């Protein structure tokens, strides 16, 4: 709270006071009172004016300054009311009362939305489990009646299933508190599951899969990590180059206190301008526009899940040569 | 014939599962009424149970827990809820495996076969006509007249891929095995080969079998797959 601004605010009082002083002083002159009385009057008048303005200023200064300092130190600004002392001047009291009302109504509103979100999330999860049932029966039907049905059916159903999973993990990544369980997990088994899941696509597109040295175990949630790897492998298949034999290599590397899991393809790569943004929500970039359709959600969800699990994720790429996505796990402590 | 009991409330899946299992040489039946499921499970005396976790009015995990107190019949939990928490819980309650929907039917069959093999050890030696296939050693041996007298010429070693192909064909005698099934088995064993390599592997296996005098053992059925001929 600046004194200058405060005084400007009180300009009317000051001008009015000065006006009264001038009128009274002229009266004193008119009544020819002795000079000493005039001096005393002047001193007393200005003394009271300055003290009253100063006192008011001091009270407000103390209150607003504390409020502002507290506010600056707060992460969630709306919590300021919790640490606000009720001021001893009337306007301040009105203001705090109003703030309380506003805060209460906002909290109620936010609560309403968060409950709505929670309901929606639950519904989506339920819906996904429900929609998986007809998908499973379609897969089984295709398998049982392979003579009549082409393999293309299965691949479309799989695509459907992948898109559905993307919604599931999006919801989980944004809201999950209890959905995951981090424990020592067999990395080979997870990679194996993901590869098996993508077997038809890999064979169809003629991708050469190279499994390198893999760390025994990492500390993670298996289902989540499998989803993340699935996204990465899907991208590697999707953005392959037609002029070379497509290849995907998967291996782990120890670096300082991290275990890095690499998934490297020899695909079209990512342009230098885009690489910093591939994990952003809805970012599609040049590849998304020119090559395959993209929602820009896959890697965003992957990163979000990694953040929750405490893993690092990053990318290295040269356009037209390769893309290498790595996930960093903290090394287990014995 | 091994008997498999299905506990699944979705009729479409249920019917397809029964068909799938029957096509693959199992006796499959499904529970129709979801009251007293535990008693039904115990009375069915199945060799394996496929148990869906989310059946209305029924808690699959509680059911498994109760069932495990009285029976050691292998149980594969099937669910559309893909979460690590559920999987860990199921396994700790005594499930033998845990599969999420939608599953690859071939993989499901492999898991079932693996568990049935685990629970009932039926030897690791398979035979084809007068050939003995030794899985752990990875060899193919001709049984000679005198019994087990062997000389160097009647034993051939098979590569892992050839062994897996032969084993799959042997486990599905009298039935056409699709290329995709062979591929699934190979990939499931971390042999990520492509289409051409599969063809090469099969011709190598054929060559080895013809060395033993069975040049026509594996018959190709155009657009369908392969069939192991018995006679």
CB atoms B102 and A135 under 8 Å: yes
Interface of A with B in 76-135 (CB under 8 A): 128-130, 132-135
Per residue in A119-132, pLDDT (tens digit) is: 888 888 888 888 88
pLDDT at position B152: 47
Judge whether residue A116 has pLDDT over 50: yes
pLDDT at position A259: 92
Distance from CA of B87 to the nearest CA of A (A): 10
Q: Could you tell me the pLDDT band of residue B142, with boundaries at 50, 70 and 90?
A: confident
Among the ranges given (A46-50, A228-232, B136-140), the one the predictor scored with the smallest mean pLDDT = B136-140
Q: Work out the average pLDDT over A34-50.
A: 91
Residues of A in contact with B178 (CB under 8 A): 146
Judge whether residue A73 has pLDDT over 70: yes
CB atoms B102 and A203 under 8 Å: no
Which run of H or E residues covers position A142? helix A90-144
CB atoms B13 and A181 under 8 Å: no
pLDDT at position B153: 53
Mean pLDDT, chain B, whole residue set: 85
pLDDT at position B145: 55
Best A133, A146, A198 residue to mutate vs chain B (most B CBs within 10 Å): A133
Q: Cite the beta strand spans of chain A per DSSP E.
A: 183-186, 208-211, 217-220, 247-255, 258-265, 312-318, 322-330
Contact with chain A for residue B183, Cβ under 8 A: yes
d(CA B73, CA B66): 13
Interface of B with A in 139-178 (CB under 8 A): 178
What are the backbone angles phi and psi of residue B130, rounded to the nearest 5°?
-105, 25
Q: Could you tell me the pLDDT band of residue A257, with boundaries at 50, 70 and 90?
A: confident
Helix, strand or coil, per DSSP, at residue B226: strand
Per residue in B177-215, pLDDT (tens digit) is: 988 889 999 998 888 998 899 999 999 999 988 888 888
Helix, strand or coil, per DSSP, at residue B24: coil
- Whose tokens are 């899907």? That residue is A234
pTM value surpassing 0.90 = no
Given a contact cutoff of 8 angstroms between Cβ atoms, the answer to whether A25 and A44 are in contact is: no
DSSP letters, A38-93, are HHHHHHHHHHHHHHHHHHHHHHHHHHHHHHHHHHHH-SSGGGGGGGPPPPSSHHHH
Given a contact cutoff of 8 angstroms between Cβ atoms, the answer to whether B44 and B33 are in contact is: no
CB atoms A178 and B85 under 8 Å: yes
CB atoms A208 and B194 under 8 Å: yes
CB atoms B102 and A132 under 8 Å: yes
pLDDT above 90 as % of chain A: 41
Judge whether residue B94 has pLDDT over 60: yes
Best B84, B92, B107 residue to mutate vs chain A (most A CBs within 10 Å): B84
Given a contact cutoff of 8 angstroms between Cβ atoms, the answer to whether A228 and A235 are in contact is: no
Distance from CA of A221 to the nearest CA of B (A): 6
Judge whether residue B144 has pLDDT over 70: no
d(CA B157, CA B143): 15
Contact with chain B for residue A308, Cβ under 8 A: no
A140: nearest CB among B17, B80, B183: B17
Judge whether residue B111 has pLDDT over 50: yes
Contact with chain B for residue A202, Cβ under 8 A: yes
**Within its chain, how far is the Cα of A44 from the centroid?**
61
Judge whether residue B147 has pLDDT over 70: no
pLDDT at position A138: 87
B82: nearest CB among A192, A195, A223: A223
Interface of A with B in 135-174 (CB under 8 A): 135-141, 143-144, 146-147, 151, 157, 161, 165, 168
d(CA A36, CA A156): 104
Contact with chain A for residue B56, Cβ under 8 A: no
Distances, alpha carbon A155 to alpha carbons A172, A253, B104, in Å? 25, 33, 12
Judge whether residue A19 has pLDDT over 50: yes
């Amino acid at each position: 709270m600046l004194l200058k601004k405060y005084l400007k605010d009180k300009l009317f009082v000051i001008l009015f006071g000065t006006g009264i002083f001038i009128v009274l002083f002229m009266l004193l002159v008119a009544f020819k009172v002795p000079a000493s009385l005039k001096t005393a009057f002047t001193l007393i008048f200005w003394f009271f004016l300055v003290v009253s303005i100063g006192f008011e200023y001091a009270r407000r200064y103390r209150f607003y300054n504390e409020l502002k300092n507290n506010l600056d130190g707060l992460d969630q600004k709306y919590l300021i009311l919790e640490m606000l002392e009720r001021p001893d001047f009337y306007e301040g009291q009105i203001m705090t009362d109003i703030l309380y009302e506003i805060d209460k109504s906002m909290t109620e509103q936010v609560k309403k939305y968060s409950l709505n979100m929670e309901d929606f999330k639950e519904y989506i999860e339920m819906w996904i489990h429900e929609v998986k049932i007809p998908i499973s029966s379609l897969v089984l039907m295709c398998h049982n009646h392979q003579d009549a049905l082409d393999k293309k059916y299965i691949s479309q159903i799989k695509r459907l299933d992948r898109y559905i999973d993307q919604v599931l993990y999006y919801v989980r990544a944004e809201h999950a508190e209890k959905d995951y369980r981090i424990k020592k997990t067999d990395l080979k088994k997870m990679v194996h599951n993901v590869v098996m899941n993508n077997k038809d696509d890999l064979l169809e597109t003629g991708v050469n899969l190279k499994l390198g040295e893999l760390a025994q175990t990492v500390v993670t949630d298996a289902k989540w990590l499998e989803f993340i790897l699935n996204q990465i492998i899907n991208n590697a298949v999707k953005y392959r180059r037609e002029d070379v034999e497509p290849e995907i290599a998967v291996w782990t590397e120890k670096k300082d206190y991290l275990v890095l899991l690499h998934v490297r393809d020899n695909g079209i790569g990512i342009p230098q301008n885009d690489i910093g943004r591939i994990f952003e929500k809805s970012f599609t970039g040049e590849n998304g526009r020119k090559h395959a359709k993209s929602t820009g959600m896959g890697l965003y969800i992957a990163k979000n899940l990694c953040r929750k699990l405490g893993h690092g994720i990053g990318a290295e790429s040269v356009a037209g040569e390769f893309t290498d996505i790595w996930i960093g796990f903290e090394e287990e402590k014995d | 014939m091994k008997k498999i009991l299905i506990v699944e409330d979705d009729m479409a899946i249920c019917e397809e599962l029964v068909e799938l299992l029957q096509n693959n040489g199992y006796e499959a039946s499904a529970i129709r009424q979801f009251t007293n499921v535990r008693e039904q499970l115990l009375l069915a005396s199945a060799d394996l149970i496929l148990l869906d976790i989310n059946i209305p009015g029924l808690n699959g995990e509680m059911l498994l827990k109760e069932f495990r107190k009285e029976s050691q019949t292998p149980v594969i939990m099937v669910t559309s809820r893909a979460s690590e928490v559920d999987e860990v819980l199921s396994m700790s309650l005594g499930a033998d495996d845990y599969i999420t929907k939608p599953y690859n039917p071939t993989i499901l069959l492999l898991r079932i076969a693996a568990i049935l093999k685990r629970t009932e050890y039926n030897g690791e030696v398979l035979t084809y006509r007068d050939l003995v296939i030794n899985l752990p050693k990875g060899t193919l041996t001709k049984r000679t007249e005198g019994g087990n007298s062997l000389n160097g010429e009647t034993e051939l070693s098979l590569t892992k891929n050839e062994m897996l192909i032969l084993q799959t064909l042997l486990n599905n005698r009298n039935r056409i095995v699709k290329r995709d099934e062979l591929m699934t088995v190979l990939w499931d064993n971390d042999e990520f080969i492509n289409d051409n390599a599969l063809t090469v592997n099969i011709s190598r296996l054929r060559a080895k079998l013809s060395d033993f005098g069975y040049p026509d053992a594996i018959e190709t059925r155009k657009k369908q797959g392969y069939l192991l001929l018995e006679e």
